[in-house]
Chain A
Amino acid sequence: MALIDVQNLSVDFTAGSGKSKRVLHAVKNISFKIEPGERVAIVGESGSGKSTTAHALINLLPGSGKVVGGSVNFDAKQLVTDGHAAQEKEFVEVRGSGIGLVPQDPMSNLNPVWKIGTQVEEAIWANSAAQNGKKLDKKEAHDAAVQALENAGLSDAKSRMKQYPHEFSGGMRQRVLIGIALANNPKLLIADEPTSALDVTVQKVILDHLDCLVKELGTAVLFITHDLGLAAERAEKLIVMYKGEIVEAGPAVEILKNPQHPYTKKLISAAPSLASTRLESTKAAFSGYSDRPLPEDLSFSHLRNVPNFAAESLVEVYGVTKEFSIRGQKEPLKAVDNITFTVRKGQTTALVGESGSGKSTVANIVLGLLAPTHGEVAFNGHYLADYSKSRATLKHFRKMVQPVFQNPYGSLDPLVSIGNSIKEPLNLHKIGTKKERDARVAELLELVQLPNALKTRYPNELSGGQRQRVAIARAIALNPELVVLDEAVSALDVLVQEQILTLLNDLQKELGMTYMFITHDLAVVRLIADEAVVMQHGKIVERGATETLFNNPKKEYTKNLLDAIPGKHIL
């Protein structure tokens, strides 16, 4: 008999009341089963209803969410009958001891004012009370908590118990949450995007450990994830959800190799972790980017010429170090430590690294927003430091180098219309007449494949991907030489991500721009970059052509990074 049997489950969210009441059918009539010890993954994009499904199983739906149809049977207990959830009391008994939950965000799921130990003990206490009404004494709970943390792979668990969440890294916190979830030997573990907030190498270690644990305990696992590669690697069975419905379900490898539904096909072809080659552009290539004439700099007499600046280079970084002084600490923090690399004209150079690698600091230095502590950056044959010496040259530099940032919700001024946002650079640099600027805005919107009608609208009406396209239009408005893309696609859904990457790639071909692509995601690097620079702790570990780096990594760290790309070994 199945451990959990979900039949025709439907969940609605309601917004507003009375006449303006709107009902969103988040989950529509879905059915699936999980056998004891089986690992199943629900895969989908944001809004697909995957997390809502998981939360409905344990009656933890947020806000106005309500189960409106179907039934759920867990371990011979009827949790949902004919669209009616059981009493809260029943769920309290099941949660923790029957179904454990590893929540999504390790940063916000531990109470910052309580010690780790207290929080684990609390969970063990609550569950054992709910399970058999027996109250553990202090010593028993403490021992059980230490055991739970040790099982979760936290070294030195005993002394860790006395620490507070802020003393833990993201990976350690996630281990604590896994420890809590598994502390009472649940029969089913729901892991809701358990590692999305973590670095890839940490993700791999944690998931490997989780795999071992559940195999040992015989726990069934329901993964909720947006990452097809991860799902296929960690689960035997996949359930693909799209707009609240299951579009395809079955054995993981088979679905990956032989997808039937058009949505699944699309999702698999877009998943960067499963791709193996660089994106091809359908656009006609820009006529020889190495010959693209750069703006005349000779009128600025204080711009010294950099000796031996290579003709094919756009940016050369020589031994750059950036230190930040931290209050209360004598030693400054070295965010970037003596790095040297080159960005070639018309190409995409990726800067890859995990959090704390210093990649974003490098981006800000190249953008001229931060001055390096030591070393020099040269742009187009002149020192960047020289550009900053006068307002005229700095403005000239700004015209040639533009950024696109990660957070689509923070990258546009919410009070400025889309059209005016794109027009701002043109106004500022006094380009063309008013009429010409309006025409240019229309042209830019077309370049990023957005309808011209959007120009009178405001950012709050756009999706994340659309905002990112507006941010790109704004960045390329001045025909820059270099666009610095700082995690520009990291916050987007897989299909939207692929769409934006394709757009960026086409724009590069068409306009002959150079990209510096900052990312934590090696899989994306393969899709878009010609050259890659791998960074760790502020230093460059390895750099070279993307293909060489992927096929023949020289350094251990690069190998680990590549190895950690989920789903890499499946196809």
Chain B
Amino acid sequence: MASSEHFVAKVDDGFEVKVDAVDTTTPARSSWGDAWEYLRHRPLFYFSAGLLLLILVVVLFPGLFTGMDPKYCDISKAKLPTSGEHLLGTTLQGCDVYARVIYGAGPSVLIGVLTMLISTILGAVIGAIAGYVGGVLDAILSRVTDIFFAIPFILAAVVVLQMMTNVEGIVKIVFTLSAFGWTSSARMMRGAVLETKEQDFITASRALGLSKFQILVKHIVPNSFAPLIVLATTSLAGYIVAEATLSFLGLGLGSDTVSWGVDISNAQESLVTNPALLLFPSGALAITVLAFIFLGDVIREALDPKARQ
């Protein structure tokens, strides 16, 4: 085609320039609906969710899985290997390992879930207020967050747990873990709120006459919550591990309680002679933690399209 030529493409019959036509043929979806659509096609989601469902059943109805009493220990049957009667063998004291793993799920998962809920809500409230109000209050809250963040977690937990000798085990641990676990969710929430509050629809809501509190609750918090959900699912795994660590150090639940942490702690005495005792409770712990991390991962991908491959 020479430079001076005037080329015109053939105009098809019925050619029409449709300016910004609305397509209503596709099914309606919210961004949460979009996330669900993504999750529906991910095997990892079904795998982790199924696993968590199973763990939940174990936690709620441990009796369905074993007829044994985890606290009934017969010293004459100590250190038995795997057999028909004792599926995973017995401990030094002659307790059934399988029953202890099943019954131990309850306290471990309960502590994980409670700590996750309390620390996420606490962190979200503090972070949202800091980010939304700004100014001096933000400076104060942010420094407090930094201070809590800087305290070595285990060290602080040791001190706090030593002080609360007359509080019940689970409450004591949940309290301690939450007291130091909220900082990351506070930081994340503050960042998300700072970003959301600059959006035009927030200014539009102000111009509409919504009060500051209404804007925070109706528009800012829901739009800042997605990253927090992801953080919560992954941190939950961390809390279960932390309980095990504290119990291992002898600071968590008393040795009369049945929990994975307590069992892992007890198993250290026979680590060399009978490693299986350590393997089963820590294996159960690892599977649970992985299930939560997997779930956190797919949810993150679902909520943030950029994270998808």
Partners in one complex: yes
Interface residues of A (CB under 8 A from B): 20, 31-33, 35, 38, 236-237, 242, 245-251, 254-255, 260-263, 266, 367-369, 394-395, 398-399, 401-403, 405-407, 410-417, 424-425, 428-429, 450-451, 453-454, 456-458, 460-463, 465-466, 471, 474-475, 495-496, 499
CB neighbours (8 Å) of B167 from chain A are: none
If A248-B7, A369-B207 touch, whether A411 touches B201 (CB-CB below 8 Å) is: yes
Q: Is the CB of A458 within 8 A of B29?
A: yes
Q: Is the CB of B223 within 8 A of A248?
A: no
Quick one: which of B198-244 are within 8 Å of A by CB? 199-201, 203-210, 219, 222-223
Name the contact of A266 in the complex, choosing from B17, B205, B223 (C-beta under 8 A).
Answer: B17
Q: Is the CB of B209 within 8 A of A261?
A: no
Name the contact of A458 in the complex, choosing from B15, B16, B30 (C-beta under 8 A).
Answer: B30
Name the contact of A405 in the complex, choosing from B7, B31, B34, B204 (C-beta under 8 A).
Answer: B204
Q: Give me the 4 closest cross-chain CB pairs, A-B, nearest first.
A: A250-B6, A398-B209, A405-B200, A410-B200
Cα A255 to Cα B3 with chains together (Å): 13
CB neighbours (8 Å) of B199 from chain A are: 410
CB neighbours (8 Å) of B208 from chain A are: 398, 402, 424-425, 428
Quick one: which of B96-140 are within 8 Å of A by CB? none
If A251-B4, A429-B209 touch, whether A415 touches B20 (CB-CB below 8 Å) is: no
Cα A171 to Cα B253 with chains together (Å): 66
Interface residues on B, range: 35 or more
Name the contact of B1 in the complex, choosing from A32, A428, A463 (C-beta under 8 A).
Answer: A32
CB neighbours (8 Å) of A266 from chain B are: 17
Cα A416 to Cα B202 with chains together (Å): 13
Name the residue on B nearest A455 (C-beta): B28
If A250-B7, A413-B219, A453-B24 touch, whether A262 touches B17 (CB-CB below 8 Å) is: yes
Q: Does B8 contact A (CB under 8 A)?
A: yes
Cα A75 to Cα B260 with chains together (Å): 73
Name the residue on A nearest B18 (C-beta): A495
17 A-B pairs, CB-CB below 8 angstroms? A250-B5, A254-B6, A369-B207, A395-B209, A398-B207, A403-B207, A405-B204, A411-B200, A413-B201, A450-B22, A451-B24, A454-B22, A457-B24, A458-B30, A461-B26, A465-B19, A466-B20
Name the contact of A428 in the complex, choosing from B4, B210, B219 (C-beta under 8 A).
Answer: B210
Interface SS majority for chain B: loop
Q: Is the CB of B9 within 8 A of A246?
A: yes
CB neighbours (8 Å) of A401 from chain B are: 207
Q: Is the CB of A394 within 8 A of B24?
A: no
CB neighbours (8 Å) of A35 from chain B are: 3
Q: Is the CB of A458 within 8 A of B6?
A: no
CB neighbours (8 Å) of B26 from chain A are: 461
Q: Does B32 contact A (CB under 8 A)?
A: yes
Interface residues of B (CB under 8 A from A): 1, 3-9, 11, 15-17, 19-20, 22, 24, 26, 28-34, 41, 199-201, 203-210, 219, 222-223
Q: Is the CB of A415 within 8 A of B222?
A: yes
Given contacts A248-B6, A398-B209, 17 further A-B contacts (CB under 8 A): A20-B41, A251-B6, A254-B6, A261-B8, A262-B11, A407-B200, A413-B223, A414-B31, A415-B30, A416-B219, A428-B208, A428-B210, A453-B24, A458-B33, A460-B34, A461-B26, A499-B20
CB neighbours (8 Å) of A417 from chain B are: 30
Name the contact of B204 in the complex, choosing from A249, A255, A460, A474 (C-beta under 8 A).
Answer: A474
Q: Is the CB of B30 within 8 A of A471?
A: no
Cα A411 to Cα B41 with chains together (Å): 31
Name the residue on A nearest B305 (C-beta): A460
Q: For residue A259, give the distance in angstroms from its CB to the closest CB of chain B.
A: 9
Cα A90 to Cα B242 with chains together (Å): 57
Q: For residue B205, give the distance in angstroms from its CB to the closest CB of chain A.
A: 8
CB neighbours (8 Å) of A454 from chain B are: 22, 24
Q: Is the CB of B17 within 8 A of A33?
A: no
Q: Is the CB of A369 within 8 A of B203?
A: yes
Cα A262 to Cα B1 with chains together (Å): 21
Cα A263 to Cα B222 with chains together (Å): 43
Q: For residue B199, give the distance in angstroms from its CB to the closest CB of chain A.
A: 5
Q: Is the CB of B7 within 8 A of A415?
A: no
Cα A160 to Cα B37 with chains together (Å): 52
CB neighbours (8 Å) of B41 from chain A are: 20
Name the residue on B nearest A20 (C-beta): B41
Name the contact of A496 in the complex, choosing from B19, B29, B205 (C-beta under 8 A).
Answer: B19
Name the residue on B nearest A484 (C-beta): B207
Cα A401 to Cα B206 with chains together (Å): 12
Name the contact of A367 in the complex, choosing from B3, B16, B207 (C-beta under 8 A).
Answer: B207
Cα A160 to Cα B180 with chains together (Å): 50
Q: Is the CB of A406 within 8 A of B200?
A: yes
Cα A425 to Cα B26 with chains together (Å): 28
CB neighbours (8 Å) of B203 from chain A are: 369, 403, 405
Cα A465 to Cα B29 with chains together (Å): 19
Cα A415 to Cα B29 with chains together (Å): 11
Q: Is the CB of A415 within 8 A of B24?
A: no
Cα A367 to Cα B20 with chains together (Å): 30
If A247-B9, A248-B9, A466-B20 touch, whether A461 touches B209 (CB-CB below 8 Å) is: no
CB neighbours (8 Å) of B1 from chain A are: 31-33, 249
CB neighbours (8 Å) of A474 from chain B are: 204
Name the contact of B9 in the complex, choosing from A237, A245, A367, A475 (C-beta under 8 A).
Answer: A245
Q: Is the CB of B34 within 8 A of A260?
A: no
Q: Is the CB of B24 within 8 A of A460?
A: no
Cα A458 to Cα B207 with chains together (Å): 22
Cα A151 to Cα B153 with chains together (Å): 60
Cα A459 to Cα B122 with chains together (Å): 31
Name the residue on B nearest A242 (C-beta): B17
Name the residue on B nearest A260 (C-beta): B8
CB neighbours (8 Å) of A429 from chain B are: 209
CB neighbours (8 Å) of A32 from chain B are: 1
Name the contact of B201 in the complex, choosing from A242, A412, A456 (C-beta under 8 A).
Answer: A412
Cα A367 to Cα B15 with chains together (Å): 44
Q: For residue A364, give the distance in angstroms from its CB to the closest CB of chain B.
A: 8
Q: Is the CB of B3 within 8 A of A237?
A: yes
CB neighbours (8 Å) of B16 from chain A are: 262
CB neighbours (8 Å) of B19 from chain A are: 465, 495-496, 499
Name the residue on B nearest A19 (C-beta): B41
Cα A236 to Cα B37 with chains together (Å): 50
CB neighbours (8 Å) of A367 from chain B are: 207
Name the residue on B nearest A460 (C-beta): B31
Q: Is the CB of B28 within 8 A of A402?
A: no
Cα A475 to Cα B204 with chains together (Å): 9
CB neighbours (8 Å) of B11 from chain A are: 261-262
Q: For residue B223, give the distance in angstroms from its CB to the closest CB of chain A.
A: 6
Name the residue on A nearest B20 (C-beta): A465
Name the residue on B nearest A240 (C-beta): B9
CB neighbours (8 Å) of A410 from chain B are: 199-201
Cα A128 to Cα B8 with chains together (Å): 41
Q: Is the CB of A261 within 8 A of B200?
A: no
